[in-house]
């Protein structure tokens, strides 16, 4: 059987922070609740071991999402569309060269799906703007929701009819991330808009039929990075 056949089957800074506007994403549970508070209020922001850990994680990109969804979904995307979206095929307009590229791309699709299935954990990045600081619990509401993960459409798949997203199963466990107040003062002085990157370490738990079609992941760790200065503000994997 061909490869194609197999696949197709307390300070002013803090006061200003507390009065900050809400982020654009839908808010999580009320910050007054202790449920969903992640990380230690006195944990270090990072460490050499933590940096190595995060650097080793493979990003869950648009194509990787498609590979994962292809091997988990009851009704996966059309394999022809995924092959057409692969680098080396996408953008090739000469018909003879395109056919040659397509023939060589089928094994690459199969290899990509197998590699994705063998990857235990991934890294997902959510770019956002933090709202006000929660003084009682010593941290920022993350604003994570089930739908807060990346969404990929035709433009990410060489204009093929593919639309996929990443659904965050246990987002409520990370509704608030603790950040010490002295670290917050420095952060707010240099980044008054509080624009951050929420880096998520996740493990895949399934596929969602949709709409929207999605790869469902479980968050196991969150790291908060200042998007302006690059400093790490918190890492829930550190104690």
78-102 confidence digits (pLDDT tens):
999 999 999 999 999 999 999 999 9
pLDDT at 178: 95
**What is the value of pTM for the model shown?**
0.84
pLDDT at 34: 40
pLDDT at 1: 52
CA 70 vs. chain centroid, Å, equals: 18
Q: Is 91 helix (H, G, I), strand (E, B) or coil?
A: coil
The answer to whether the beta carbons of residues 150 and 230 sit under 8 Å apart is no
* Per-domain boundaries in the chain: 3-235
Q: Write out 152-180 in H/E/C secondary structure.
A: ECHHHCCCCCCCEEEEECCHHHHCEEECC
pLDDT at 110: 95
Q: Which residues of the chain have pLDDT under 70?
A: 1-35
For residue 180, whether the previous peptide bond is cis, meaning omega lies within 30 degrees of 0, is no
| Gap between the Cα atoms of 153 and 221, Å rounded | 27
Q: Buried b vs exposed e over 53-87: b needs ≥16 C-beta within 10 Å?
A: ebeebeebebbbbbbbbbebbeebbebebbbbbbe
């Amino acid at each position: 059987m061909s490869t194609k056949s197999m696949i197709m089957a307390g300070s002013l800074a803090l006061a200003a922070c507390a009065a900050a506007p809400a982020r654009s994403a839908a808010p999580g549970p009320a910050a007054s609740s202790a449920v969903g508070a992640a990380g230690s209020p006195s944990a270090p922001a990072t460490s050499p071991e933590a940096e190595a850990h995060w650097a080793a994680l493979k990003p869950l990109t648009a194509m990787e999402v498609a590979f994962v969804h292809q091997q988990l979904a009851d009704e996966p995307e059309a394999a022809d569309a995924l092959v057409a979206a692969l680098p080396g095929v996408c953008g090739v307009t000469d018909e003879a060269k395109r056919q040659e590229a397509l023939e060589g791309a089928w094994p690459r699709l199969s290899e990509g799906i197998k590699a994705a299935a063998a990857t235990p954990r991934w890294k997902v990045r959510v770019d956002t703007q933090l709202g006000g600081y929660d003084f009682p619990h010593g941290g920022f509401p993350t604003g994570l929701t089930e739908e807060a993960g990346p969404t990929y459409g035709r433009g990410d798949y060489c204009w093929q009819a593919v639309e996929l997203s990443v659904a965050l199963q246990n987002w409520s466990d990370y509704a608030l991330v603790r950040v010490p107040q002295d670290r917050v003062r420095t952060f707010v002085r240099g980044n008054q808009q509080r624009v951050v990157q929420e880096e998520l370490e996740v493990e895949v738990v399934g596929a969602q039929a949709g709409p929207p079609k999605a790869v469902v992941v479980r968050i196991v760790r969150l790291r908060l990075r200042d998007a302006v200065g690059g400093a790490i503000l918190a890492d829930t994997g550190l104690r």
